[in-house]
Amino acid sequence: MQALVVSVRTEVGQAISAGQTLVILEAMKMEHIVTAEQSGIVRKVLVRPDAMVAAGDPLVLLEPAEHGEAALRTNEETSLGDIRPDLAEVSERHAFGLDENRPDAVAKRRKTGQRTARENIADLVDEGTLVEYGALVIAAQRRRRPIEDLIQRTPADGMVAGIGRVNGDVFGDTGTQCAAMSYDYTVLAGTQGTMNHLKKDRMFELAEQRGLPIVLFSEGGGGRPGDTDHAIVAGLDCRAFQYFAELSGKVPLVGVNSGRCFAGNAALLGCCDVVIATRSSNIGMGGPAMIEGGGLGVFAPEEIGPSASQYRNGVIDVLVDDDVEAVAVAKKYLSYFQGALLGWECADQRLLRSAIPEHRLRVYDVRNVIETLADADSVLELTGGFGAGMVTALGRIEGKPVGIIANDPMHLGGAIDGDAADKGSRFMGLCNTFGIPLVFLCDTPGFMVGPEAEETGLVKRAAKLFTTGASLKVPFCTIVLRKGYGLGAQSMAGGSFKAPAFTISWPTGEFGGMGLEGAVKLGFRKELESIADPEARDEMFQQMVGKLYERGKAVNMAAHFEIDAVIDPVESRRWISSAIAPR
C-alpha cells in the first residue's frame, strides 16, 4: 500500500536480528512497523523520513548473515505480567468501587448487620462468572462536584449490575445465566440517579432479548433530586418502570430487599413475581421526606411499611432473617425455573397414611403433608403471611418442579376467603406463565360465606379462581385429602372435577354440594324442629349427617365415577408423576 515513512530505525552496516524494527510507515493515520524477516547485515537503506513509498517499493536491502546474541535488538520483549499505563488507569478506576477499597462504607453495612451490594451479588452468582455492566459510571453531578470526588464517592452511580451464572453447582457447569442488579445503599442511599436509570434500561433490554431471569436487590430511597448534568424538570419520561413492567410474564422477576426501600425502588420491587425480604425491611411507596412533604405527618423510616405488616398483607412473599438467607432463597426460587434435578430423595410415603386424623373434625397441619409428599428439602412456601386459608408453595416431585396449592384446615376449617382466593389465583398465574405443573391438595368446606365475607368483595375474588383455573395451559391435578364441598372444591380443580388430569381422593375424602352438617340443618329443618327432646333431636341430627357422610364417602364418589380413583396415600407421587410427565 502507499504510505509515508515516519522513521528509519537502522543504518548501513548494522547487524540485524529477526523481528527487529527497520522502518515505521504511516497509512490512513495508522502506523505499520516493518521488521526483519531474518537476521542479517544492512547493505543499503533506500528510504528516508517523510518520503512517500508505493506498494512494492523496496525499503531496506538486508544481506542474510548469522550472528550471535550480541546482535542489537531495539524491540523490548514484553512480559506477560507487565501492566501498561492504559490498563493501570482502568484498573485504578475499577478499584474505587471495590469493597476492599471502601472500608468506611463496608463498616456502615456491618453496623446494620447487612452485606454490601457486591457481596450479595457475589453470593448469588457462581464464582468468576459475573460480567459487570456500567462499573465506571458515576453520578451525573459534574456541575456541582469535582470529578475526583464523584469517582471516589459515587462508584457505579449506586447500582451494581451484570450477568452471571446461577446454581451451576446444582445443574452442572453450565447453570443458567441471570441478570443481577443491586442498588448500593452506601452510594447516595441507593437512590435512583440519571445514570443508574440508564443502566437499568440496558439490563432490562438484555434480559428481554436473551430471556434472562432478573434478581433485583431493591434497597434504596427512591428518586434522586441532586443530579445536575442533564436538563430534567420532573423526569417522568423515565422508561425504567415501563421496561421492567413489560418483562412481567416474560422472564422470572425476583425482588430481594434488606433495609429501607421507598418510592421508585419499592415500585420496581412490587413488579417482581416474588418478593424476598429481611425482617429489618421497611417498604413503602413513599419515604419520610415524601410523607412530610405531603403534609401527612412526620415519621421515622422504621414506622413506614415494616416487614411484619408487609408480610401479613402479601407484599412480602418470603420473610427471612438476613441477607445470607435472602440470597439462598433467591437461588432456590430460581432453581424451579431451571428444570428438573436428576437426583432426589423423599420421605417414607407411608407417613401419609396417618397424616389425616381419623376423627373427621380434627384439624391437622397441611404443611407436614406437603413436606412429606414432595422431594426432601424441595419445598419453598410463598406468601405464607397472607391468605392463611390457602398454602402456596413450589416444590419437586421426582426432581421435577411443581406448584402446590393446598387448603389449610387450621384456618376457617379450610374455607376459602377473599385473601385466600387472591393468593391462589395469583400463584396459578405464576405457574401457568412459566410452565410449572400444578398440584391441588383439596380440603375445603367451600367458600367463606356471610355478611362479613361479602364485605371483602368475595364474589369477584372467588370468581378469579375459576377464570384463572379455566385458562391453565400447564398440566394440573387434584388430590382430595378430606373435604371436597361445593364451589370451593371445584375451584381447587380448575372449575370441575373433570378438568384436571386426574381428580382422586385419599380414603379420608368426603364430598357434597355443601357441608354435611349445614345440609342436614337446611334440608331437614322441619323434621328436626318437630322433635321436642334436645337429646333425641341431636341423635337424629347425627344419624342424618352419618347417612350423608356414607353417601358422600370417597369410595361412593369413585363408584359413581365423579372422581377418578380412591388411592392409598402412598401412591400419590406415582399419580402426580403420571400427570406431569412430558407428553
Do residues 516 and 542 lie in contact, with contact meaning Cβ atoms separated by under 8 Å?
Answer: no
Give me Rg for the CA atoms of the chain: 35
SS3 52: strand
pLDDT digit of tens for each residue in the chain (583 aa)? 899 999 999 988 899 888 899 999 999 999 999 999 889 999 999 999 999 999 999 999 999 987 644 444 444 456 788 888 989 989 999 998 999 999 999 999 999 999 999 999 999 999 999 999 999 999 989 888 999 999 999 999 999 999 999 999 888 766 689 999 999 999 999 999 889 999 999 999 999 999 999 999 999 998 888 888 777 777 777 888 899 999 999 999 999 999 999 999 999 999 999 999 999 999 999 988 888 888 999 999 999 999 999 999 999 999 999 999 999 999 999 999 999 998 999 999 999 999 999 998 899 999 999 999 999 999 999 999 999 999 999 999 999 999 999 999 999 999 999 999 999 999 999 999 999 999 999 999 999 988 999 999 999 999 999 999 999 999 999 999 999 999 999 999 999 999 999 999 999 999 987 666 666 666 667 777 778 788 888 877 777 777 777 787 999 999 999 999 999 999 999 999 999 987 6
| DSSP 8-state assignment for residue 163 | E
Q: What pLDDT, on a 0 to 100 scale, did the predictor assign at position 522?
A: 64
Identify the helix (H) or strand (E) that includes residue 394.
strand 390-397
Amino acid 398: pLDDT: 96
Domains 89-335 and 349-509+553-580 share a fold: yes
Q: Please check whether residue 281 is in contact with residue 326, taking contact to mean a CB–CB distance below 8 angstroms.
A: no
Q: How high is the pLDDT of residue 366? A: 98
Look at strands 159-166 and 52-53 and give their pairing.
unpaired
Q: Which helix (H) or strand (E) holds 265?
A: helix 264-270
Task: Determine the pLDDT at residue 73.
Answer: 45
Contact of 359 with 579, CB cutoff 8 Å: no
pTM of the model: 0.87
Q: CATH number of the domain at 3-64, please?
A: 2.40.50.100
The answer to whether the CB of 429 falls within 8 A of the CB of 396 is: no
First CA to last CA across the chain, in angstroms? 64
Q: Give CA separation, 417 vs 51, 335, 367, 390, 497, in Å.
A: 91, 31, 19, 9, 21
Q: What secondary structure does DSSP assign to 296-362, as a single string?
A: S----GGGSSBHHHHHHTTS-SEEESSHHHHHHHHHHHHHTTS---S---B--GGGGGGTS-SSTT-
Rounded Cα distance between 480 and 553, Å, is: 11
Q: How far apart are the C-alpha atoms of 519 and 523, rounded to whole Å?
A: 6
CATH superfamily of 349-509+553-580: 2-enoyl-CoA Hydratase; Chain A, domain 1 (3.90.226.10)
Q: 449, 413 in Cβ contact below 8 A?
A: no
pLDDT for 520 equals: 65
Amino acid, single-letter form, for residue 31 = E
Asked whether 180 and 200 are in contact (CB, 8 A), the reply is: no
In the chain, count H helices and then E strands: 21, 24
Q: From CA 500, how far away is CA 493, in angstroms rounded?
A: 6
The pLDDT assigned to 238 comes to 81
What pLDDT score does 77 carry? 56
Contact 501, 473 (CB under 8 A): no
Q: What are the domain boundaries of the chain?
A: 3-64, 89-335, 349-509+553-580
CATH architecture of the domain with range 89-335: Alpha-Beta Complex (3.90)
pLDDT of residue 523: 64
Q: Which helix (H) or strand (E) holds 404?
A: strand 400-407
What is the grid cell recorded at 121?
Answer: 451479588
For residue 434, the SS3 value is coil
Closest CA to 431 of 464, 394, 466: 394
Distance CA 70, CA 6 (A): 27
Judge contact between 160 and 195, C-beta under 8 A: no
SS3 511: strand
